[in-house]
Amino acid sequence: MPIVTVEMFEGRSIEQKREIAKTLTEGFCQTAGGNPEAVNILFKDVAKHDFAIGGQLCSEKYPD
């Protein structure tokens, strides 16, 4: 039972997550084999102020 974790900035729509899950599942099964029903995708939405790159908060580095 593979678990694929996707951490990304919050703000993606349900439709975008649906498409990501579909694409990742297909790619995993093509590469590693197995049954698509066994592939688990876990989305973790991260606020920009909860992530930093190079000592700078992403909310400051990449403002909306």
Residue among 1, 2, 20, 34 flagged as catalytic: 2
Dist. CA 21–CA 51, nearest whole Å: 23
The DSSP result for 52-64, as a single string, is EETTEEHHHHS--
63 is catalytic: no
Q: Give the separation between CA 10 and CA 47, rounded to whole angstroms.
A: 6
Catalytic sites, residue numbers: 2
